Amino acid sequence: MDAGTATTAQSRWRPRDAAPTLPGPYLLFLGDTTEPGFAKTAFGLSDWAGDKCVGEYCLPEATVSTGLKAMTPAEAYAAGARSMIIGVANPGGIVPASWLPAMVDALNAGLDLISGMHSPLASNLKMRHLADSLGRSLIDVRCPPANIPVGTGRKRTGKRLLTVGTDCALGKKYTALALARAFAERGLDCDFRATGQTGIMIAGSGIPIDAVVADFLAGAAEMLSPDADEDHWDVIEGQGSLFHPAYAGVSTGLLHGSQPDVIILCHQAGRQNILGLDQYALPSVEEAIELNLKLARRINPAVRCGGVSINTSHLAEPEADRLLDRESARLNLPAADPMRGGSRFAALVESCLAG
């Protein structure tokens, strides 16, 4: 059964725009993941919606953990969980057959299933029939809205910040969330605009940009950040990288449609190659800033780089401090790790607002 047929069948499956409230609390499913970068959905939820997460569930092959308590679906249900979220964002967004028994266990334990994968849950006929028979829901959040227009490039009112990166899975979402929170703490009118499945799960709304047909990418980004008051900020979650062999098209469409006034370049300290594609070296931070600004100026000639966000989560604090100070001096831009906060992040925030 193809996805189009599944969504019109008599099923409890529903797209995200028909389910404004996800059933929580959540059990996070990490499958058999061994690469932390592919578990970014689980990490994002545990870090930014931890109060809604009761535990994690992994297959024996998994080597990645969020640090939450390990639970079976039955134990999670007894602890108050009402859904299991697939916390993995693997290449291609597929649900491997090896995960299906765990998903069946979750349904039998009384949990709904929530997915941000490209493969719709209800495209598995047996899974859909089981959910129907148990009165459980299969909820996909990677469903773009209908009637997305082609982008126009028209200048919109309001202010926009977009996080961009040297690669995937290195902090664009975390940076956008941290900046939006910092803007709000300063009393600014601000919205975090989610463009990926995890951001949508955290924020409760957004558009999964990588599920949009290519011709409509820029239009979807324009829908996501429409005209606003002159002092309103939309802080837009970036996706992919202009340098990624597979995902550069998504990044370009989002960059043009977002029409940013400010970009923040995100990078992970020490990463040298594209995640999952080791034969491709990452660009330098300077090269990434230059190309993003060059393409962004096509839509907004006044765009500027507000600074650099560097993921230093694997470094001890003294080493991270030295690296951030060194990069700031070298680039002549604020450099900070938003998750560490402090004066460096405050300087990054002020630089974003300085224009």
| Per-residue pLDDT reduced to its tens digit, 271-327 | 999 998 999 999 999 999 999 999 999 999 999 999 999 999 999 999 999 999 999
The band of 6, judged by pLDDT with boundaries at 50, 70 and 90, is very low
Please report the pLDDT score of residue 20 as a whole number.
Answer: 43
Say yes or no to pLDDT of 269 above 60.
Answer: yes
Strand partners, 237: none
Q: Percentage of the chain with pLDDT > 90?
A: 81
Measured distance CA(39)–CA(29) in Å, rounded: 9
Say yes or no to pLDDT of 18 above 90.
Answer: no
DSSP assigned state of 340:
T
Query: In 10 A of CB 329, how many CB atoms?
Result: 10
Q: Mean pLDDT check: name the lowest of 92-101, 247-256, 286-295.
A: 92-101
Say yes or no to pLDDT of 224 above 80.
Answer: yes
Cis amide prior to 25 (ω within 30 degrees): yes
The band of 22, judged by pLDDT with boundaries at 50, 70 and 90, is confident
Average pLDDT score over the chain: 91
Q: What is the mean pLDDT of residues 51-63?
A: 95
40 or 342: which leads in pLDDT:
342
User: What fold characterizes domain 3-140?
Assistant: Rossmann fold (3.40.50)
Query: In 10 A of CB 330, how many CB atoms?
Result: 12
Please report the pLDDT score of residue 281 as a whole number.
Answer: 97
* Angle of helix 285-296 versus helix 248-258 axis, rounded to 10: 50
Please report the pLDDT score of residue 92 as a whole number.
Answer: 73
Please report the pLDDT score of residue 9 as a whole number.
Answer: 28
DSSP symbols for 163-199: EEESSSSSSHHHHHHHHHHHHHHTT--EEEE--SHHH
Measured distance CA(85)–CA(38) in Å, rounded: 14
- CATH 3.40.50.300 occupies which residues in the chain? 159-353
Measured distance CA(148)–CA(220) in Å, rounded: 6
Measured distance CA(91)–CA(246) in Å, rounded: 10
Say yes or no to pLDDT of 7 above 90.
Answer: no
Q: Mean pLDDT check: name the lowest of 125-129, 158-162, 177-181, 339-343.
A: 125-129
Strands 273-274 and 277-281: antiparallel
Is 159-353 assigned to CATH 3.40.50.300?
yes
pTM of the model: 0.85
- CATH 3.40.50.720 occupies which residues in the chain? 3-140
The closest of 162, 251, 165 to 214, measured between CA atoms, is: 251
Task: Please name the residues in contact with 194: beta carbons below 8 A apart, sequence gap of 6 or more.
Answer: 200, 202, 203, 205, 206, 207, 237
Say yes or no to pLDDT of 17 above 50.
Answer: no
* Angle of helix 317-331 versus helix 342-353 axis, rounded to 10: 30
Measured distance CA(259)–CA(14) in Å, rounded: 31
